[in-house]
Structure 1
Amino acid sequence: MNKLINYILEFGQLNTQQIELIKHNAHEITLGKGAYFSEAGKIPRQVAFVIKGVFRGCYYNNKGEEITRCFIQENSIMCDYVNFEANAVSLDYLQACTNSLLIVFSKENWEELSQIIVGWNTIKNKMVQRCMYQKSRKNPVISQDATTRYLDFIENHPSLVNRIPLAYISSYLGVTQQSLSRIRKSLS
């Protein structure tokens, strides 16, 4: 819980009572590799802070191909926030790439914090902005060749290369798994 509190304090000040209220409104859960935190076709009902593990945001395109949009790892807030706030059905999945430990807030508990803690909305908005920025697909640039995209991935996500399946990396990069294997072999 201390990791969560330290993360929140990056965005604003809280007193001891407010910190205790946040702790009271959250609980820990574990998700196994492959489990979904949030699924397409369902309304997102929780916000999570990733203590341990890696998640991917993904969707299916109109050809039925699975596309990985982003990766979310430790010390990050995770939620399909637009649909969470709108009470709308999600089009994306948030899936555990590894066994994971999360601190989770239900929608009711998350909203309760806004009603009780003065300044929580400002803190929350800053956390959500960072979450949305991390979730937005900054990389890879599809106009780059596949090797450049992979090298950029290694540079931007060095801790992920050996933690997640190649299939997820190849989906994120927009290349086949075979192409990614050839690229990795040529670079070693």
Structure 2
Amino acid sequence: MKAFIDYILKFGNLNHHQIDLISSKATELSLSKDAYFSEAGKIARQVGFIVAGVLRVCYYNNKGEEITKYFIEENNLVVDLESFDNQIPSSSYVQAVTDCTVLTFSRHDWQDLLNTIVGWDAIVHKIISKALLQKVDRRSPLVSEDATTRYLSFLEKFPTIANRVPLSYLASYLGITQSSLSRIRKNIR
């Protein structure tokens, strides 16, 4: 819980009573590797904060190929925001790549925090804005760079993730085949 409180305090101030209220709403969830935090076709019902582990957001394209959109590691929120906010079925899966520990908040409890804590909405807005900027920063270079540069950029930006995720997921994220990724890794050693 301390990691989550430290995280949200980077985005705004809260008093002890507010922190206690937030703590009382959190539930710890253990996800086994390959388990889903949320699934395509279902409405996202919770917001999570990753205490330990790596999750990935993925979908299936029109050819039935699994595509990894991005990875989320410790000390980040995880939610399919469009599905959660608008109560519509998700188009993506959020899957544990490693065994994970996630603090979760139900939709009801999250709304309760928004309605009870003055300034909580501003904190949440700042967190969402930061996450959207990170998402754009992650995806933009993938369009214009060659495969080797994309891989090296990934290693630079996410040094703790590369050795924790299967090569197939990483290749999918980079938009290359697994054999191409193996060749790139072999050439840069």
Tell me the TM-score normalized by structure 2. 0.96
Contact 1:140 1:153 in 2 (8 A): no
- Matching residue of 1:187: 188
Identity of aligned residues (%): 52
Which residue does 2:84 correspond to in 1? 84
Q: Which runs of 4+ in 1 moved over 6 A?
A: none
Q: CA deviation at 1:147?
A: 1.0
In structure 1, the residue matched to 2:5 is: 5
**Is 122-131 or 3-12 further displaced after alignment?**
122-131
- Offset, 1:162: 0.7
Whole-Å separation in 1 of the counterparts to 2:54 and 2:149: 23
Contact 1:58–1:94 (Cα < 8 Å) also in 2: yes
| 8 Å CA contact retained: 1:46, 1:104 | yes
Gaps in structure 2 of 5+ consecutive residues: none
- Bigger fraction of residues in helix: 2
- Code of the residue aligned with 2:11 in structure 1: it is F
1:42 matched residue in structure 2: 42
Distance 2:141 2:67 in 1: 12
SS in 2 for 1:138: helix
Q: In 1, Cα distance between the equivalents of 2:57 and 2:132?
A: 12
Q: Does 1:169 align with 2:170?
A: yes
Q: Distance in 2 between matches of 1:150 and 1:68?
A: 14
Distance 1:27 1:125, change over 3 A: same
- Distance in 1 separating the partners of 2:16 and 2:179: 53
Shift of the alpha carbon at 1:141?
2.1
In the alignment, the residues of structure 2 paired with residue 135 and residue 44 of structure 1 have an alpha-carbon distance, to the nearest angstrom, of 19
1:140 Cα offset (Å): 4.2
Deviation at residue 149 of structure 1 after TM alignment: 1.1
SS in 1 for 2:143: coil
Q: Which letter does structure 2 place at the counterpart of 1:94?
A: V
Give the CA RMSD over aligned residues: 1.1
Q: Tell me the TM-score normalised to structure 1 length.
A: 0.96
CA distance in 2, matches of 1:71, 1:39: 15
| 1:135–1:143 distance in 2 versus 1, CA, 3 Å | closer
How far has the Cα of 1:139 moved from its partner? 4.8
Whichever residue aligns with residue 184 of structure 1, its letter is R
Per-residue deviation, residues 93-150 of structure 1 (Å, max 9, x unmatched) = 1111100001000000000001111111111111122233334442542332211111
Partner secondary structure for residue 159 of structure 1: coil
